[in-house]
Every structure is written in C-alpha cells, then in structure tokens.
Structure 1
Amino acid sequence: MTIETLPRQFHDAEKIFNLRDVGGWAADGGRTVRTGRVFRSDNVGRPTEADLDLLVNRLGIRHVIDLRRAEEWEVAGRFPEVEGVEFHHFELLHVRWENIGRPYPEGAATVPFLRQRYSGMLESGYQAVRDSLDVIAGGEPVLFHCMAGKDRTGLVAASLLSVLGVGEEDIAADYALSNHGIARWKRWRDEHLGKPATESGLTTPAEAMLETLAEMRERFGSMGEYVTATGFDRAEELRELLLD
C-alpha cells in the first residue's frame, strides 16, 4: 500500500506506519478541524533519518507525547532527543489487557470487549488525556502516540475531536483509519520479521468507538463533559486554535 492509495490523512514514513493528521474533519457551526497542527501515530521509538526529517522538518512537530508504559521503551524504544522537540511521557494508565484472564475475542465479541476496555481506560487514564490536551492547547504542532496507534492514541484523539465539536460518526471513522496503518505494519513485519503463527487484537471497528462514546455519554453526559471532568479547562482556547 503506497501513500497514493492511503486515505488523505496519512503521511508516508519508513518505520512509522500509522502516522496521520488529526485535522480535516467537519465540526459544529460549519467549521473544520485545522490540518498540520496535531498528528497521531504508532510507535516512533525507532525512526529512520528520513522519518525524523519528516516529523521535525516537514511536519514541524515540536512536541511528542508518549502514552505508553516506560517499560515498553525497552522493547520498542522511545523518541530520541532532538533539538527543538519536547518529549512528554503521559502514561495512559489502565489494567493490562494481558492480565484480564481471557483471550482477546474475535468476531462479534470484539466490539463489546473494546468498549469495556476503552471506557475503563478513559476513567483510569484521565490524567494523560487532560495533560495531552493541555500540551495541544499550547499552540505548537504536536504528535501523540502509543504502540500501534489505535487504542490509547485513539482515545486521546476521540477526546480532542469531541471538544472540537466533531460528530461521533466522524470520530469513529478517524479511529477506524488505523486499520490501514495496521495493514501497512503487518506487511513490513511479514517481510522483515516473519509472519507469526497466530495474531489477534489488531483491528479498529468503528462500532467499538461508537459504543464507547455512547457509554461515556451515559456516564458523564457527553465526551465534552468527560473532558471537563478530567480537569481540562481550555476547551474554548483549543477550539479557537484548531478550528477554521
């Protein structure tokens, strides 16, 4: 899959497979989320020189937010020290999925499993959501990421887009775009590391995000009210910054 065949949000990198712009979505009042300001991705712990040039020089990223556990750096690295780029570690706290005691479900059971995990992660990891939005509200170009760029990253993106007034269907569509990034990573993995005998947990069905948003409405009234409950109080500032 080449950059020409990917959705417009994606940027082509050598060893970052799910890198894309969070902007471009329609928001309330006929406005549009500004592009070129906020980016999301999978792991950026081992970028090539070309990747760093893309992130720092071409996209102009000045803040990198890592939502992972620090111990994940031992396996996949962390963003290198680069002059002019500030690194932030905001671990999005949650119960580790591997400790839940049951295998990752397949088929129809995937959506309720993800909705349960995601709503729990939004509650336990609220500080990472708040702190990430606070950095974004600072006004400089930001990249936030986790490992695959779909779960923890997807929840921060959903929180941001909700504050900006993007509709739930589009928030779910943004989340589902990770399927393209995961497909790119799988092809690279199979070619360079070998295809595993089995794999699971690498899908982002839009329904999982829609159900998560519905549950957060039930718990908090709306995702916007959830974000307020985290202690984030710069919503108007964020809208002025990121809406055209």
Structure 2
Amino acid sequence: MEPTLLNIHHGFNFRDLGGYPGAGLKTIKQHKLIRSGKLDLLSDRDVQFLDDYGVRYDVDFRSPEELQQAPDRKPSDASYYHLPVFPVDETKVTKYINREEEDKIFSEHADGGYKNMLKTYADMVLLPSAQKAYRGFFDLLLGNDGDNEALLFHCSAGKDRTGMGAVYLLSALGVNKKLIRSDYIATTQYIQQPLEDVLVQIKKRHMGTNYEQSIRDLWTVKLDYLESAMATIDEHYGSMQHYLHSALDLTDQQVADLRQIYLA
C-alpha cells in the first residue's frame, strides 16, 4: 500500500503511518504516528497544518550539533523531546562539505558512502546512545494515549534514524516484514529534490564521480542498509522481538499497550 504523504509545502518526507495493517487484523490509526524529515524549513502555514493535524509530540533523533544548526519549528501545542541516536551525525547527511578525512575517502572510493551507511545501520542497533534514544521513543509512544493526539518523529532527512525508529515501532505493532521494508524504501521517492540540491553543491566543488556517488549513497535508502541492521539484530539478539525485549526493554504488557493505543 502507498504511504499517506502529508500536505507540507516547505519540508519533505512527512508521512502518516495510519492505515498499515498490524496485529490482530487491526490497522494503525490515522493522525497518531507521523514520520518526517527536519522541521526547520517549515513555513507558518506548514506549522499550522501540523498543529491542526493534531501533532502534540515532536520527537527529534538528531545530534546536538544538528539541532543547534537547524532548530525545529514545532506546532504551538506540541511538546518537544530531543532523543539523539548518535552524539554526532553518523549518517553524514548534514556533513558532506569540508570534512577532510571523509572527503579523501569518498574521493578515492566510490563505495565510501555505501560502506559508511552499512556501519551506521549496525551502530543504530548496538550503540548505547541509540538504544537509549529508541527506548525513550517508546516511553513517549506509551504516553500518547489521548484521543486525536499525534506523535511526530524525525531526524534530518527522515530516512535513517527515523527509518529505524519506524522499523522498531511497526515491528512492535505487528506489521508484517514485507510492509515494513516497503515503508522504509518508500523514502526514496520523497527525498529526490533535497538530494538534487545537495548534488548541485557537490558538483560546484569538482570532487569527481567517486565523491558524488558516495554522497548519493549517503542520501539514499537501500535495502542493503536495512539488511545490515537486521543482520546485526539476528547475530546479537536472535530476532527482532528479542531485540525489542532485551535491548529496548519492552515488556509483553507494553507491547500490548502499544497495540491498544495505536491499532483499531
């Protein structure tokens, strides 16, 4: 099924997860769960749209530096929560210019960006900072039990840290693996314009085709990246359900509570 794209004019990758089938022949409620890219670009009209849509939680997975560079424009009735998955931006989405070490690697090796992302996805599974952030995410999800209140979660592009947050959440809600993968890869169609904007800047630097390919891989979602995370989960925890219980400390009762809150 196609994701529900929100009518945001000055931002990208804003999607309502409502409508996906979950456990017990139920579906995810509309106006409850929104994944997105960054919020600093939003116009006044966009901010009001999210306010009217019911956004009451703004969950930010970005690093402290990313937050300082581009603070969120949050809806007036939303509470803001900063849950950094990494102390710094390992996805490199906001750090593609003038990073000497990365410039050298990406210029010499066309697969530099690709390899960086495989490692980043494994790190999102294992790093204590990532596990702490996603556990905090679930705490907020468990508290969002009011009617007509939406929780929005995001990073910079809404594809990696947000993507894994969605994978964990949809898994807990009993969404099937095929649909989880489909939701993950759907990001590709919603980030083409910001990707092209980045590549325009890169081309002006005349860094060569290897560098451009690395940047393209940093800014793209690939099933290989998701598989890197899933393989890491299987290797260290045996299964996604065991990971949710052991690494993110979700109890059976909390999983049941999540399904009660978000499925109908």
Q: TM-score range by the shorter chain?
A: 0.7 to 0.9
CA distance, structure 2, for counterparts of residue 43 and residue 142 of structure 1: 14
Shift of 1:213: 2.0
Residue matched to 2:174: 165
How does the TM-score come out when normalised to structure 2?
0.77
Helix, strand or coil at the partner of 1:88: strand
Shift of 1:123: 2.0
| Residue identity matched to 1:93 | F
Report whether the alignment pairs 1:181 with 2:186. no
1:25-64 superposed matches below 5 A: 25-57=20-52, 59-64=53-58
Gapped regions of structure 2 (runs ≥ 5):
93-98, 204-211
Taking only aligned residues, the RMSD between alpha carbons, in angstroms, comes to 2.7
Report whether the alignment pairs 1:83 with 2:88. no
Q: Which deviates further from its counterpart, 127-136 or 201-210?
A: 201-210
Report whether the alignment pairs 1:136 with 2:145. no
Residues 171-206 of structure 1: CA deviation (Å, up to 9, x unaligned) = 11111111112114346x37xx95531442111123
How does the TM-score come out when normalised to structure 1?
0.83
Helix, strand or coil at the partner of 1:128: helix
Between Structure 1 and Structure 2, the one with more helix by share is: 2
Shift of 1:237: 0.4
Is the 8 Å Cα contact of residues 94 and 121 (structure 1) preserved in structure 2? no
Shift of 1:75: 2.6
| Residue identity matched to 1:218 | E
Q: Which deviates further from its counterpart, 26-35 or 124-133?
A: 26-35
1:1-244 superposed matches below 5 A: 7-57=2-52, 59-80=53-74, 82-93=75-86, 96-97=89-90, 102-103=105-106, 110=114, 114-124=117-127, 125-138=130-143, 139=145, 140-186=149-195, 189=197, 195-197=201-203, 198=212, 199-200=215-216, 201-229=218-246, 230-233=248-251, 234-244=254-264
Helix, strand or coil at the partner of 1:35: coil
Shift of 1:225: 1.9
| Residue identity matched to 1:196 | I
Q: 1:67 to 1:179 in 2, by over 3 A?
A: same
Shift of 1:84: 1.9
Helix, strand or coil at the partner of 1:227: helix
Gapped regions of structure 1 (runs ≥ 5):
1-6
Shift of 1:21: 1.1
Identity of aligned residues (%): 26
| Residue identity matched to 1:135 | L
CA distance, structure 2, for counterparts of residue 33 and residue 106 of structure 1: 40
Q: Which deviates further from its counterpart, 167-176 or 153-162?
A: 167-176
Shift of 1:50: 1.2
CA distance, structure 2, for counterparts of residue 182 and residue 84 of structure 1: 28
Residues 135-166 of structure 1: CA deviation (Å, up to 9, x unaligned) = 11212310000001001101111110111111
Is the 8 Å Cα contact of residues 60 and 82 (structure 2) preserved in structure 1? yes
Aligned residues: 232
Is the 8 Å Cα contact of residues 62 and 84 (structure 1) preserved in structure 2? yes
Q: 1:26 to 1:126 in 2, by over 3 A?
A: same
Is the 8 Å Cα contact of residues 15 and 46 (structure 1) preserved in structure 2? yes
CA distance, structure 2, for counterparts of residue 34 and residue 179 of structure 1: 24
Q: 1:182 to 1:128 in 2, by over 3 A?
A: same
CA distance, structure 1, for counterparts of residue 25 and residue 110 of structure 2: 39
Is the 8 Å Cα contact of residues 28 and 263 (structure 2) preserved in structure 1? yes
| Residue identity matched to 1:209 | L
CA distance, structure 2, for counterparts of residue 9 and residue 115 of structure 1: 28
